[in-house]
Amino acid sequence: MKKINDIEVIINNKRYTLSGYESEEYLQKVASYINNKYNEFKNRDAYKFLDSELRHIMIEINIADDYFKEKEKLKELEDENNEKSNEIFDLKHELITAQTKLHSAEKEIESLKNELYENQKKIVRLETELQEADKKR
């Protein structure tokens, strides 16, 4: 069972204690992400004129927007992965079919070689018999 990690972070110049089963590095990364969002907005002139509650709402909306965009990217990647998996499956199936046809063709070639060899022997035997028959006449 994982233990809960408590870590002190600074978000928007205020000290907080984050707790979670995730690693300390991960919790720091979350705090850093939120700080980056605050910094993005602090650099915008319009943000400076908003009241505190509206500032927080804007950041929350922005974080939610990032979340849904990443979620959509993930879905697209999963769909692309599924398509590629299906393509790989189809290619493997085609490969197996081609290998089966190749194996059958190789067997047929071997059979035809044997038949050709037997026919060549038969031709030699018949030519020999024909030459002997011609000599007797």
State pLDDT tens for residues 17-62.
999 999 999 999 999 999 999 999 988 888 888 998 999 999 999 9
Residue that is last in its domain, among 26, 48, 70: 48
State pLDDT tens for residues 58-96.
999 999 999 999 999 999 999 999 999 999 999 999 999
Angstrom distance (rounded) from CA 78 to CA 68: 15
CA R_g for the chain:
39
pLDDT number for residue 75: 98
Is residue 1 located within the same domain as residue 38?
Answer: yes
Kindly indicate the confidence band of residue 128, based on its pLDDT and cuts at 50, 70 and 90: very high
As a whole number, mean pLDDT of residues 7-25 equals 94
Please calculate the CA angle 126-132-134 and round it to the nearest 5 degrees.
Answer: 100
Is residue 66 located within the same domain as residue 34?
Answer: no
State pLDDT tens for residues 95-121.
999 999 999 999 999 999 999 999 999
Give the domain CATH number at 2.
3.30.160
Tokens representing residue 102 in the block: 């190749």
Is residue 73 located within the same domain as residue 42?
Answer: no
Contact between residue 14 and residue 34 where contact means Cβ atoms under 8 Å apart: no
Q: Does the model's pTM come out above 0.85?
A: no
- Domain assignment of residue 86, given as a range: 50-112
pLDDT number for residue 119: 97
In a domain, 134, yes or no: no
**Of residues 29, 35, 33, the one with CA closest to residue 11:** 35
Q: How far is CA 81 from CA 68, 73, 104, in A?
A: 20, 12, 34
Angstrom distance (rounded) from CA 49 to CA 91: 60
Residue 2 confidence (pLDDT) above 90: no
Residue 82, CB-side half-sphere exposure with 13 Å CA sphere: 6
